[in-house]
Amino acid sequence: MATGSGGAATKIVWNERQKRFETEDKKAYLQYELRNSGKVMDITHTFVPSSKRGLGLASHLSVAAFNYAQSNSLSIIPTCSYISETFLPRNPAWKSVLFSEDLKSSI
């Protein structure tokens, strides 16, 4: 069994029933709501307990959610401040997945 100290083997699980992506121990998670008839994923909250901070878990959770959205043709609304203020500025390529009501406003 992996002890988790390596960090590279972090497994993120999609919990469809509770609308979240979470670590296997369920302690760190990313919460979302579906909007526009299930075509838009509004990421509302990212949580990592203080005992697990600094391991890149929030980023792993975000990448899992963005990959899921991209592979399922969903757009993302980055309501969560971590997504809008930290993850997207560090990972600008993911901005292509963001929801825009008016495409002209993103030019």
Instruction: Tell me the C-alpha distance between 45 and 80, whole Å.
Output: 5
Look at residues 82, 40, 94, 81 and name the one whose alpha carbon lies nearest to residue 57.
82
Once rounded to an integer, what is the mean pLDDT over residues 23-32?
97
Residue 2 has pLDDT above 90, yes or no: no
pLDDT confidence tier of residue 10, bands split at 50, 70 and 90:
confident
Q: Is the pLDDT of residue 4 over 50?
A: no
Q: Which residue has the higher pLDDT, 72 or 10?
A: 72
pLDDT reported for residue 102: 60
Return the number of other C-beta atoms located less than 10 Å from residue 82's C-beta: 19
pLDDT of 1 higher than 80:
no
Which residues are paired to 76 by β-bridges? 41, 98
Q: Where are the domains of the chain?
A: 12-98
Helical segments of the chain, H only = 57-71, 81-82, 88-90
pLDDT tens-digit map of 48-87: 999 999 999 999 999 999 999 999 999 999 999 999 999 9
* pLDDT at 46 (0 to 100): 98
Cα first-last separation, the chain:
48
- What is the rounded radius of gyration, in angstroms, for the C-alpha atoms of the chain? 14
What CATH code is assigned to 12-98?
3.40.630.30
Of 58, 69, 80, 97, which is the active-site residue? 80
Summarize the confidence of residues 14-38 as an average pLDDT: 97
77 tagged catalytic? no
Determine the pLDDT at residue 9. Answer: 65
pTM of the predicted protein model: 0.85
